[in-house]
Amino acid sequence: MKNISLFSNSKVKFILPLLIVAGMLFGFKMANEPDPEKDKILIGLVRYALKQGHYEPHQINDEFSEKVFADFIDQLDPYKRFFLQSDIEEMEAYKHMIDDQIKSEDLSFYNVAVDRFLQRVEESKSIYKEILASPFDFTKEGSFDVDYDKKPFAKNRAELIKYWQMQLKWSTLSRLHEKIELQEQMANNPDEEGSESEGAGEDTSEDADVEPIEIKTFEELEKESREMTESSLDDIYEMMGDLDDSDWFSIFLNTMTMQFDPHTNYYAPKEKKRFDQIMAGKLEGIGARLQKKDDYTRVAELISGGPAWRGGELEVGDLILKVAQGDEEPVDIVGMRLDDAIEYIKGQKGTEVRLTVKKIDGSIEVISIIRDIIELEETFVKSSVVDIDNRKFGVINLPKFYIDFNERNFRNSATDMEQEIERLKAENVEGLLIDLRNNGGGSLKTAIEISGLFINDGPVVQVKYRGEKPNIRSDKNKKIQWEGPLVVLVNELSASASEIFAAAMQDYNRAVIIGSKQSFGKGTVQNVLPLNNYFKYPKDLGALKMTIQKFYRINGGSTQLEGVVSDIAMPDKYTYFEIGERDEKNPLDWDKIEPAEYTPVDVYENFHSVVNNSKKRIQDNPHFIIIDENARWLKKGRDDSTVQLNYEKYKAELDKREEESKAFDDISLYENNLEFRSPKYEIALVEQDSILAKKREIWHSNLKKDIYMEEALNVLSELKMNNKNLLVKN
């Protein structure tokens, strides 16, 4: 599984300021008593496993100790609203001792840090209650920098209270603005049933059955907003009261593992169970994979064909701030554990969930989704046929490199891809476009086999364990399933196995790679180790997911960090963001090894001219120009971390940004002139299955609005094969 992160820790200016509830994750008494014996066993097992098995083990020394110290404090109190500077100074006595304590299975630092934190959290309850008891003065000038990395810890309680005052004021201000905006909208656009009669001449006097809109004063709305802020904090404290020692200690262990790389994680027993369910592909709810980073629940991936994907409103990178069940009052989930947040979001098929999300442009939207069972079928290969200038081309969408080893006659992406190509060949398509956008990877075996469908035979990828020579994994089947023009479409979320396939096609000169400037950049392999397999203990010890291998291209370069650089880069809204593996903490470095023995070939007679033509079209295309301008605007907005605490200035700033955003409205209105249709074999299936028909209708409708698909097909239509060469011969 990939771990997708789109933003840095701070500097998101227009996040709905419910941040005040963030950090409450740890502010509760433990439901169960600590189990020091189990914790000591765990710390010893994890340390030994990392030392023996991690691809790039770190020395557990004073430098390591400093990093664990800083990161554990940050995990506990990222927004610096609980610890005092004196607490940090007191705990700094352990700053260079943690490495020795880890080696001796001593939990002193862990216990001191958690105990002090619990104390400060308990004290904070009276602070927020007292502050929220009185109205805020929103006519007063003031601003607040939400880049918490720049902030020191409070020197004393008085300064801590000042921090809380500003954060609570910001949180209340945001709610107040929402309430005022909603009231104005209702006043300007009253409900049709109450304002418009069914026939001309109907009674619209006071005696008519029309409910007047209650107009509340600024002071009344301010009071309601403060009460909502307080209620939110009360709920968070109450909800998290079931934290036990395993939750706390998991955080500490993961502070250790994150020093090695971002994909090495400890899973407590209940987290391991959830991981197994995800890997088994059993999904239900809204059809989104969610990620916890800092105090936010972030959309990491949309499941192809799922309710969220079909709706088209929820996007990767959206931050979910509130969750409402149908028309019920929404619950704030900022600062909530991912486990608990998921419990609110998932639900039975046919029920409605309303998500309040913060979009990448800073806007706040409420998105309604009807939950459904996520069918595995929608993660399978599917294809479409499109005509360009009376020539026929095939589009193949591959959401995952899937395989099921538990089934005797398992279905996998390689055999499905081979079958889909045969079906498209029967329709006499002249070229193939493989869409790997948002494909987070999957089976290495199928990635190699799919690569083999487009080459004669030869190396596809190099896989390397620590301290060993690389193992060259090759396609050994000389059969070439598709000999014609090939284009591979990728984006920033194409990761792992997707990058292996795209890199192989690029190294062999077999395909044009087009899309974002580079793919995700995950060039590592993880293995999950159930810890009870290594130590007999009556309680479940959970599991360790650990990076054990690294991928390398056949040209010797790693896909780590750099990903696959597109032959043709198209601007998108993430262009100026550090997205993917580069945005993770402590990623492994890029490096290079000896290339494998392979023979690139000159497959296309006009490769360079086609690439140059496309770059020129993109450069001159008004729609791509506005996409690039939007990306720069988004980056500028994200980098500005100061918010106003004066209502009029806060409102003016939001209004200004909303007005600026209108310049980019045309991006969502784009539509190409292409018509996509199901291949012939699927037409009968679509006619018999209304659900499948609806899914294909949505997919084809999305493709018609897709400028990236349009340009990729333009490239495909221009490619000419070099008749002097029959692909790859080693």
Q: Give 665's Cβ-side CA count (13 Å radius).
A: 6
3-state secondary structure of 535: coil
250 as an active site residue: the answer is no
494 as an active site residue: the answer is no
3-state secondary structure of 549: strand
What are the residues whose beta carbons fall under 8 Å from the beta carbon of 572, sequence distance 6 or more?
Answer: 491, 492, 516, 627, 631, 708
Q: And the tokens for 227? A: 């009460």
What does the alpha-carbon distance between residue 433 and residue 718 come to, in Å, rounded to a whole number? 13
What does the alpha-carbon distance between residue 71 and residue 73 come to, in Å, rounded to a whole number? 5
Cβ-contact 394, 432 below 8 angstroms: yes
Q: Is 640 exposed, middle or buried (0-12, 13-18, 19+ CB in 10 A)?
A: middle
Q: And the tokens for 254? A: 């993961």
Bridge partners, residue 289, by sequence: 301
Q: Is 25 exposed, middle or buried (0-12, 13-18, 19+ CB in 10 A)?
A: buried
Burial profile 72-102: b = 16 or more Cβ within 10 angstroms, e = fewer:
bbbbbbbbbbbbbeebbeebeebeeebbebb
What are the residues whose beta carbons fall under 8 Å from the beta carbon of 648, sequence distance 6 or more?
Answer: 139
Distances (CA, A) of 311 to 369, 404, 648: 7, 28, 35
Which helix or strand (DSSP H or E) is residue 129 part of?
helix 108-131
Neighbours of 4 (CB within 10 A): 26
Which among 225, 451, 474, 496 is annotated as catalytic?
Answer: 496
SS3 assignment for 551-600 = EECCCCEECCCCCCECCEECCCCCCCCCCHHHHCCCCCCCCECCCCCCCC
332 as an active site residue: the answer is no
Which helix or strand (DSSP H or E) is residue 101 part of?
helix 98-103
Which among 80, 169, 522, 573 is annotated as catalytic?
Answer: 522
Radius of gyration of the CA atoms of the chain, in A: 28
What does the alpha-carbon distance between residue 368 and residue 534 come to, in Å, rounded to a whole number? 46
Which helix or strand (DSSP H or E) is residue 651 part of?
helix 647-661
Which among 87, 475, 507, 706 is annotated as catalytic?
Answer: 507
What does the alpha-carbon distance between residue 231 and residue 460 come to, in Å, rounded to a whole number? 57
Q: And the tokens for 465? A: 């364990």
Phi, psi of 546 (to 5 degrees): -135, 140
Which helix or strand (DSSP H or E) is residue 144 part of?
strand 143-145
DSSP 360-378: TTS-EEEEEEE-EEE-GGG
Phi, psi of 399 (to 5 degrees): -75, -30
3-state secondary structure of 663: helix
What are the residues whose beta carbons fall under 8 Å from the beta carbon of 489, sequence distance 6 or more?
Answer: 433, 434, 435, 436, 437, 514, 515, 708, 709, 712
SS3 assignment for 212-233 = CCCCCCHHHHHHHHHHHHHHHH
What does the alpha-carbon distance between residue 196 and residue 191 come to, in Å, rounded to a whole number? 8
What are the residues whose beta carbons fall under 8 Å from the beta carbon of 214, sequence distance 6 or more?
Answer: none
Catalytically active residues, by annotation: 496, 507, 522
